[in-house]
Each structure stands twice: as C-alpha cells, then as structure tokens.
C-alpha cells in the first residue's frame, strides 16, 4: 500500500553585503575584475598578529536586512569563532555569530498557488565572513583571497516549507526584500546570493520530522527547486525500499541533476565554537536603529498594494513595475508628470521595458527621463497627438535631446484638428474612392462600420496620421449620409 509523504524544508541563505570595504579590514570589496590576491592585507590574509575590526557599515546593512525580513534586532550580540581547517580560510577559523545573533524571529509571507498566503519564519540572521576561493588545476591548487573576509549575512529559515515551490517563492521574496534595501546585488549568478537546503521527509501527519539532509552547492533559483524535488523523491524511494535516511551533507550536481554525498554524520566537523576574544560585543543603540529605520524603503509588498489602490492598475502590472525599486520610482514620477497612471503604466511596461531589454540596459541608464515620458503621455491624453504618432515621437526622443513638445512642433507632428482642413481631405478621399462610397451606401448595418473604417484609413493616411480620428469619423459619416 502506498504511503503518503510530507516533506519539510528549511533554507539557509547567504547574502554578500555590498559595502565598500571588507568586514574586518580596509581592503576594497570591488575586486571582480582585479588580479588574484590584490585585494588583500595582513588582516584578511590571517597574518600573525593581525586583528579584526568590525566595519560599521556591515552592521548597518545587516540591520536593514533584519528590518526587511521583519526580524527583532538584538541590542547586544557577539561574535564567535567557528574552527575548521580549510586552505581558503586564512585563519582556519571563521568569525561568525553562534548563539547570540544580531537578528531573530522574522518572517516572510509567500503566496501559494491557490492564492492563499503562508508565513515562513526567519529563525535568525547573523553576520559572518566569507572565505577565499580555491582553484584546482590538475595536481596543483591555488587560492585567491580577494573574497576572503567579505561580509556575509546568513538567513536561516524555520523548517516551514513543504515543497520546492514554496522554497522557490520564499527564496525569491527574500531576494526581493534584500534587493529593495540596496544592501546587496543579491545575484546567484555572481555568487552574492548562495543557498543551502535542509530537507527531510516524514509520513503525512507524523509528529516527528524525518532525518535531515543538508544539500549544498545550489547556485541558481531553478537549481534550488530541482535539488529539493530530487532529494524528496530520493528520500521517499530510499525509505519505501526499506532503507534509511542518513544524516549527511550532500552536494547538488547541476550537470547530472542529482545530489551526491559530501560528508556523513560520522565525518561531521566539531567546530569548537567559542566567543571571539579579539572583538568586543556588538552594541546597537536606539539612535542607530531609528536612523536605519528612517532609511528603509517601502517594502515591495507594500508598494504593490499601494500601486493597485492609488493608481488603479492591476496587481500583475504593479508587481512588474515593482521588480526594481528604480523602475517603480520611474513609474511614480511619470504619473506625477502625466497625471495618467494607466497610460503611464502601459507605456512603461510595453515601450520602455522593450527598449531596455533590447539594449540590455537598466532604467537608470534609460535616455528618456520620467518627466519627458510624462510629457509624451500628456500629449496623447490631450489628443494633441495620436498614439501612433506618440510611438514615433518616442523613437525619435530615444536619441534626441529636444523636449517632446519641441519635437512635435519642429516635426509638425501635432494632430490636425482644423475642421476645414479635415473636410478638405475627406472630400478628396470620397471623390477618389467612388467604389467604396457606393459600397457603403448599399451595405447593411452590419457591414457599414467596416467599410467606413476603410475610408477613414485613407483619410488618416492622407493626413500622415495626424488628423484627429474622432473628427475624421464625424465628418465622414456626415458626408456619406
């Protein structure tokens, strides 16, 4: 008889903080294009006698992450040493926070596919240092210490997730929340966001969780979901075949899409944690908390809700606009200038995003500022230009310094709203299309609108798209009746 299974998933997310210097020393963190081991000093290389000193910005950024994930910030916390030998760990211990992290008890609400909300607990966030990078080349190994002592925060979730989809959504929302605070570029591709998953399975309704397996080396959002799916089915299969789950650490093999054993419980390390004697306790003042709270941006979730209410746009559109805080700002400024939120939303989601995507640019690099786009939209809204002309204007404006109004003037793009001029064009089209006119006259009510559209198209063409469509239609109907 087939049994029903339930899985339990917890995530540990490492996020590299985007401070200018490393966590314990003055080495620049901007090493991406630098030669190996050029962003190093006695401190981050673990030379004898060198001591760590906490970069105050790291604490500020970490606290913001705590706010973003709804955590309680502990006014006092401490650093500990996690001892283990590894060549890319210069001191052979990592400075981290063991039993007194600076942030605890947070949460993120995810949306399930049935539309329900589910709260995923954030157990804790702590500050720690990154290691260097080992490079293996045949028999030889090399180490690049440029990344050593880069500041990280580790975000540990409660085991609240039940499937890969929930984990995927949680991870995405954590990423969004962090990105909004501008403390990190949160990119899995660039390694500034890394994730490990703790996975266990148990029979549905069981009180105790199954044996936990930690899966490491997850370096894409899809990889996280796939590894979880794989690991759940592997564990179920193992138990159903009469086997047992071992408490172990496994690695996700992206190439063959399987997990492999890295370390068993017997080989588990004893990290010999103890309080870091070279650093004093972290003390966070009320003033610091107040200042940082003041610097916190509106959260993405709050922004989406506000956009839907204030601007009467769809939730989907609001979410797309809020994918980057800069795009959301651009939208709001465009609305302020255009006074038309729906049209602004449509233009940004279609035209602006298309141009950005084609040129692989961000909104901050976009050549038309929000005020100018607002001006274009205002011109459409007033009926000064047709939307077709507006698109032309937009294309010109992409590479033109002149204001939209100036371009419309210079290029004579304004709609023709002069009755006599339109009448002249209508008379001409009626005269040149006797067949269509005849066709219209004999057509039944159902066909009439189609025929008249054809005539109207001719008039619009004659006006090079500049004639006011409503006026054309009115005059045309009048002439034909």
Can residue 262 be called a binding residue for other proteins (CB under 8 A)? no
In the bound state with other proteins, the residue whose beta carbon lies nearer, of 10 and 90, is 90
- Binding window for other proteins (CB under 8 A); candidates: 45-53, 101-109, 118-126, 389-397: 45-53
Among Zn ion, other proteins, none, what does residue 53 contact (CB within 5–8 Å per kind)? other proteins
Please identify, using beta-carbon distances, which residue of 53 and 111 lies nearer to other proteins: 53
Q: Which does 91 bind (CB under 5 to 8 A by kind): other proteins, Zn ion, none?
A: other proteins
Q: Which of 109, 237, 240, 278 binds other proteins (CB under 8 A)?
A: 278
Which of 47, 75, 265, 354 is the binder for other proteins (CB under 8 A)? Answer: 47
List binders of other proteins among 413-452 (CB under 8 A): none
Q: Under the criterion CB under 8 A, does residue 283 sit at the interface with other proteins? A: no
In the bound state with Zn ion, the residue whose beta carbon lies nearer, of 129 and 372, is 129
Q: Rule CB under 8 A: which of 136-155 touch other proteins?
A: 141, 143
Site for other proteins in 62-121 (CB under 8 A): 81, 83, 85, 87, 90-93
Using CB distances below 5 to 8 A depending on partner kind, what does residue 121 bind out of Zn ion, other proteins, none? none
Residue 45 touching other proteins (CB under 8 A): yes
Task: Provide the Cα torsion 394, 397, 402, 403; round to 10°.
Answer: 30
Binder of Zn ion out of 8, 17, 23, 25 (CB under 5 A): 25
Q: For Zn ion, what does the binding mask look like between residues 289 and 308, x meaning CB under 5 A?
A: --------------------
44 binds, among other proteins, Zn ion, none (CB under 5 to 8 A by kind): Zn ion
Q: Which of other proteins, Zn ion, none sits in contact with 27, Cβ below 5 to 8 A by type?
A: Zn ion
CB of 113: closest distance to other proteins in angstroms? 42
Tell me how far, at minimum, the Cβ of 92 lies from other proteins, in Å: 4
Residues 6+ apart with CB under 8 A from 24: 43, 44, 52, 53, 54, 55, 95, 129, 149
For position 27 contacting Zn ion by CB under 5 A, the verdict is yes
CA distances to 261, 293, 304, 336, 349 from 298, rounded to whole Å, are 43, 11, 10, 18, 21
Residue numbers at the binding site for Zn ion (CB under 5 A): 25, 27, 41, 43-44
């Amino acid at each position: 008889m087939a049994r029903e299974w339930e899985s339990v998933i917890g995530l540990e997310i490492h996020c590299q903080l985007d401070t200018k210097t490393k966590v314990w020393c003055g080495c620049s963190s901007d090493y991406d294009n630098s030669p190996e081991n050029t962003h190093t000093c006695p401190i981050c290389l673990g030379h004898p006698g060198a001591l760590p000193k906490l970069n105050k910005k790291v604490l500020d950024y970490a606290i913001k992450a705590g706010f973003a994930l709804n955590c309680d910030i502990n006014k006092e916390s401490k650093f500990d040493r996690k001892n283990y030998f590894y060549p890319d760990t210069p001191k052979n211990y990592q400075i981290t926070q063991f039993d007194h992290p600076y942030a605890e008890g947070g949460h993120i609400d995810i949306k399930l596919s049935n539309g329900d909300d589910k709260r995923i607990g954030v157990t804790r966030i702590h500050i720690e240092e990154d290691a260097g990078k080992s490079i293996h080349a045949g028999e030889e190994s090399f180490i690049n210490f440029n990344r050593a002592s880069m500041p990280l925060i580790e975000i540990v979730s409660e085991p609240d997730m039940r499937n890969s989809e929930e984990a995927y959504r949680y991870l995405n929302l954590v990423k969004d929340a962090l990105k909004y605070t501008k403390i990190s570029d949160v990119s899995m591709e660039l390694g500034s966001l890394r994730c490990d998953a703790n996975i266990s399975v148990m029979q549905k309704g069981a009180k105790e969780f199954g044996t936990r397996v930690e899966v490491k080396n997850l370096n894409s959002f899809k990889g996280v979901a796939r590894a979880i799916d794989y690991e759940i089915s592997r564990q179920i299969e193992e138990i159903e075949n009469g086997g047992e789950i071992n408490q172990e650490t496994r690695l996700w093999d992206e190439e063959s899409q399987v997990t492999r054993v890295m370390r068993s419980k017997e080989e588990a390390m004893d990290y010999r944690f103890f309080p870091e004697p070279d650093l004093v306790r972290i003390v966070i003042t009320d003033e610091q908390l107040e200042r940082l709270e003041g610097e916190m941006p509106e959260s993405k979730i709050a922004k989406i809700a506000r956009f839907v209410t204030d601007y009467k746009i769809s939730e989907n559109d609001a979410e797309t606009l809020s994918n980057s805080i800069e795009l959301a700002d651009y939208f709001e400024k465009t609305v302020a200038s255009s006074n038309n939120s729906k049209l602004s939303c449509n233009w940004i989601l279609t035209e602006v995003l298309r141009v950005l995507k084609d040129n692989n640019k961000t909104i901050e690099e976009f050549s038309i500022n929000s005020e100018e786009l607002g001006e274009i939209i205002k011109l459409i809204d007033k009926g000064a230009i047709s939307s077709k002309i507006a698109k032309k204007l937009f294309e010109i404006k992409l590479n033109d310094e002149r204001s939209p109004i100036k371009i419309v003037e210079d290029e004579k793009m304004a709609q023709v709203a002069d009755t006599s001029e339109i009448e002249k064009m209508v008379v001409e089209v009626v005269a040149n299309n006797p067949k269509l006119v005849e066709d219209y006259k004999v057509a039944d009510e159902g066909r009439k609108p189609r025929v008249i559209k054809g005539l109207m198209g001719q008039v619009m063409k004659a006006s090079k798209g500049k004639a006011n469509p409503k006026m054309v239609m009115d005059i045309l109907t009048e002439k034909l009746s």
